[in-house]
Chain A
Amino acid sequence: MMRSLSYWSITTTVIALLLGIPACVIVANIFVPAGDVWRHLVDTVLQDYVTNSLLLMVGVTIGSLFLGVISAWLVTMLEFPGRRLFEWALLLPMAIPAYIIAYTYTGMLDFAGPVQTSLRELTGWGYGEYWFPEIRSIEGAAIMLALVLYPYVYLMARAAFISQSLCVLDVSRSLGNGPWRTFFNVALPLARPAIAAGLSLVLMETLADYGTVQYFGISTFTTGIFRTWYGLDNAPAAAQLATILLMFVLVLLTLERYSRRRARYHYTSRRHQEIHRIQLQGWHKPMASLFCFGTVLLGFLLPAGQLTLWAIDTAGAMLNSKFFTLVMHSLELASLAALLTLCVSLVLGYGRRLEPGPTVNIAVRAAGMGYAVPGTVIAIGVIIPFGWLDNTIDGWMRAQFGVSTGLLLSGSMAGLLFAYLVRFMAVSLNAVETGLGRITPSMDEAARSMGYPPRHIMGKVHIPMLKGSLLTAILLVFVDVLKELPATLILRPFNFNTLAVRAYELASDERLADSASASLAIVMAGILPVILLSRSIAQSRHHDAT
């Protein structure tokens, strides 16, 4: 018994340490003198970086909570036309990479774009004679990010609403509270930890975003890191900026854990019934439909429609046998990475559950931080230790056997998969831990008192209860890897391209129409997992009830 416990804690800590290597490589730069660049940064741009990053986070928080929580409540608790369709359609925006939605909306709404051009032609107005919302602003960036990231909040909030003990809601109703009152006074406070978990993913993505803010010309921490590295040619200072970003994330995660600390008390009762959805009346009905439709329209239909139009224009030149290879590469990478991440996050999740000491807690928390770190920064944190390891092994082998082993890990798939593991661990871990949180310790104790050894408890109790969460973890990482760009770009082996690489290369060359078929393929490949995800949540409700 003791042995197996310490075994868990050692495994967990070692894995978490390995995952922490890239961050350590970056943080180690605080000891490297960066020259007088810091004084320059503080005097000129640092304040902008901090303010803009914070403003962006506030904007994305408001946007994604507004869209995610309301829509989750609507489709879970109320009955209105189109509800069943919206249940899964609301997840679709998740399939669109943030930088692609940004390119697409800019193409449509920019001063020189079709909307404003036809407006000018219709009215005869010229530049400066009318007001039109500026898409490439900090508000615009917040809206773009919220439109594609709110599904994380929606997903978590919906799962929470579904699993809320109906007794509580029934009591609320029997006390005469209407659906809105019940929502604000009972359901929302109860779902808060889940919503916070979703929001923390959204904010970490926001902090790591480079493509959108770079295109919109907004200086944030991420653009600052690259400006300092590429422009000022000062890699240590860039790494130090990245370290500050990591501190940001640490604070964010601590707040999130803090708000979640009482989560386990929420799931003490497993008594569920089929939800009796409230039938909306009169004008409330179309309003609910309209809200959901508007969200899907802006987050998915419009950008996907624009991409389709562009893709049709350029399909002839872009679709060939090479394109098919890109699709295969993307799918292979995404599935491999998703499975691997799931396995590791399961080990970490169990480690924390079985041996919740402070060391393990901190180790697991640190393992999830990669999600907020820009992919390029992680990639650098992978390249350096891998290169060192390869060259050390090579040097040793040469000395011992006169044989050169060359590069074993650098430039191989292993480096890339490791980077994904670091980058997306939080997503998977979040889902797994939420799932594990639902299995109360008393269930384990009950099973143990019935004489089941731990292994069997896993098969008989945990796996059936975890199924939904595991699927969520796999699918979320799958979609994330499909969209991932910067780490893929730097770490991939020779002659190995993915859809995201292709889409980015063309889009960043300002060939939006040419990039559309690759972008659209990413979206399409992401749709199926997203639909599966939605079905699994709907079914989890059903399973819980039986």
Chain B
Amino acid sequence: MSKSKVYLIALSMGVVFFSSITTAAEVNLYSARKEALIQPLLEKFTAETGIEVNLITGKADALLKRITSEGVNSPADVLLTTDAGRLHRAKAAKVTLSFRSKKLEAAIPASYRDPEGHWYGLSLRSRPILYVKGKVEPSELSTYEALADARWKRRICIRSSNNIYNQSLVASLIAADGEAKTMAWAKGLVANFARRPKGGDRDQIKAAAAGQCDIAIANTYYLAGMFASKDPAQRAAAKKMGVFWPNQKGPNQLGRGAHVNISGAALIRFSKNKESAIKLVEFLASKASQKWYAETNGEYPVRPDVETTALLRSWGTYKADDLNLSKLGELNPKAVMLMDRAGWK
């Protein structure tokens, strides 16, 4: 009995000793953004502020599960995700902490942050229609809805419905057109597939450039990545593609704007380094960081006042769907079920 108490005291002293090592200012970051797409920014942050950033990357849902299991003792301060749906899920799981920051509110348009301050968007990921120049005239294109038209039979390449960006796109259509209409649309779209969905977004662009289909649906930063690729074949494929922004003008819901998703950050409720954590999020929303997103990964900055790159400018400006992004998260399960029923593999 007394022996076990001694052991416990020794143990707790050991723990106290170990935890005292990590008293320097630091932020613990759980990131669904891949290391290569965030680490350089974190290094800049540490250089500027002296605050160390500890990083683990992984799938957003797994990270979220890790946070909920770790509970009040979770070391996580900030969660970075690559889509709004997961930010919504984190908020629904009650692991996020609402916070206000004048800097963030000034920098980020209201539609790209949670109304209650639970999460803030950091970059935009738009999903327009990409077409093969010469085979498709931009005048033939109009809306996502019109892609279900029989004229596109066997001409469309898009990846599997497992992909979050397709799920979000369908969720945005459900929000705009309702479930019944979207169901009919999804069936029409599936009938227009040039091939069974497979591979990633770049694969769809490559397939279109190689002649397998005339239209590819993909996020723009993949196209930008292909332009920046060392592989001449990828650059050549990218050059064959035009970017069309759908749902720009028109009556009612059809002119709502092109579908965008965000990557964003949430503060974790159990955070022990709140001040540093908020500093980090503010840093990621700063002009310099926002420019980095555009330059390094071809994403659109979330701030309207930041200059993008020549390549992004060459694709023109667009109106983005101003649907509240939480909706994407709420409607995600419905979207997946709908795609299952429509036979979208």
Contacts and interface: CB of A to CB of B under 8 A. Distances in A.
Contacts of B70: 387, 390-391, 407, 410-411
Contacts of A45: 340
A131 B128 CA distance: 32
Contacts of A536: none
B234 to A, nearest CB: 9
Contacts of A492: 56
B62 A489 contact: yes
Interface string B185-224: 0000000000011111111001101111000000000100
A136 interface: yes
A490 interface: yes
Contacts of B44: none
Contacts of B63: 490
Nearest to B14: A405
Interface bin, chain A? 35 or more
Contact of A494 (B54, B201, B230): B54
Contacts of A380: 62, 65
Contact of B69 (A384, A400, A401, A502): A384
B210 A117 contact: yes
Contacts of B69: 383-384, 386-388, 410
Given A117-B233, A230-B61, A394-B73, A505 B333 contact: no
Interface string A66-107: 000000000000000000000000000000000000000010
B210 A217 contact: no
Looking at A388, A489, A508, the one whose CB has the most chain B CB atoms below 10 A away is: A489
Given A219-B345, A386-B69, A397-B12, A230 B55 contact: no
Contacts of A240: none
Interface stretch (B111-119, B159-167, B255-263, B287-295): B159-167
Contact of A231 (B196, B230, B333): B333
A493 to B, nearest CB: 7
B198 A216 contact: yes
A353 B144 CA distance: 65
Contacts of B68: 387
B54 A40 contact: no
A313 interface: yes
B34 A111 contact: no
Interface stretch (A1-9, A185-193, A509-517): A509-517
B147 interface: no
A510 B198 contact: no
Given A227-B162, A490-B58, A510-B201, 8 more contacts: A110-B206, A111-B210, A217-B198, A391-B73, A403-B12, A403-B15, A501-B57, A508-B200
25 contacts: A110-B203, A112-B209, A112-B237, A136-B199, A217-B159, A231-B167, A314-B230, A379-B62, A383-B69, A384-B69, A390-B70, A390-B73, A391-B73, A397-B12, A401-B9, A403-B15, A405-B11, A406-B73, A490-B63, A494-B75, A501-B57, A505-B36, A510-B203, A511-B225, A513-B229
Interface of B: 8-9, 11-12, 15-16, 19, 28, 34-37, 54-59, 61-63, 65-66, 68-75, 89, 159-162, 164, 167, 196-203, 206-207, 209-212, 222, 225, 229-231, 233, 237, 332-333, 336-337, 340-341, 345
